[in-house]
Amino acid sequence: MIALVEVLRRPWVQRGIRAAVAAGLAWQIAVLLPPTLSDYAYYAPLGAVIAVHPTVADSAGAAWRTVAAMFLGFGLAVGVYEVTRGVPNAFTIALIVAVAVVVEQWRLLREQASWVSFAAVLMITIGTDDPAAYVLRYGGLTLLGAAVGVAVTTVLFPPMMLTVAVERIAVARGLLAAHLVDMADAVRGGTVPDPEDWAHRGRALDAALDRMRAAETQVERARRANPRAARWQGTAGRVREQSRALDRVAVLVDDLTDLVAEFQPHRRGLDRVDDGTGWVLADALTGLAGVVRIPYHDGPHRDSRDDAIDAAVAALDRLVQLLRSAEVPDDEGFFALGAVTVGVRRSLHALEAAPREVAPRH
pLDDT (tens digit per residue) in 145-177: 999 999 888 877 665 567 778 888 999 999 999
For residues 170 and 176, what is the distance between their CA atoms, to the nearest angstrom?
A: 10
For residue 151, the tally of other CB atoms under 10 A from its CB is 16
pLDDT at 69 over 90: yes
Round to whole Å and give the CA distance between 165 and 128: 48
Compute the C-alpha angle 111/48/148, nearest 5°: 120
In this prediction, residue 26 has a pLDDT band, given cuts at 50, 70 and 90, of very high
Give the whole-angstrom CA distance, residue 40 versus residue 26. Answer: 12
Residue 141: band (very low, low, confident or very high) from pLDDT cuts 50, 70, 90: very high
When the pLDDT of each residue in the chain is averaged and rounded to a whole number, the result is 82
Q: Residue 123 and residue 130: Cα distance in Å, rounded?
A: 10
pLDDT at 333: 61
Between 357 and 1, whose confidence is greater? 357
Residue-range domain boundaries for the chain: 2-155, 170-350
Helix, strand, coil in percent for the chain, rounding step 5: 80, 0, 20
Q: Comparing 45-54, 292-301, 311-320, 352-361, which segment has the lowest mean pLDDT?
A: 352-361
Q: What is the pLDDT of residues 205-250, one digit of tens each?
A: 888 889 988 888 877 776 665 555 555 566 677 888 888 889 899 8
Angstrom CA distances, 145 to 34, 47, 62, 117, 207, stand at 16, 4, 12, 21, 37
Question: Which residue did the predictor score with more confidence, 281 or 333?
Answer: 281
pLDDT at 280: 84
Under 8 Å CB-to-CB from 323, ≥6 apart: which residues?
A: 334, 337, 338, 341
What single string gives the DSSP state of each residue in 79-144?
HHHHHTTTS-HHHHHHHHHHHHHHHTT-GGGGGGGGHHHHHHHHIIIIITTSHHHHIIIIIIHHHH
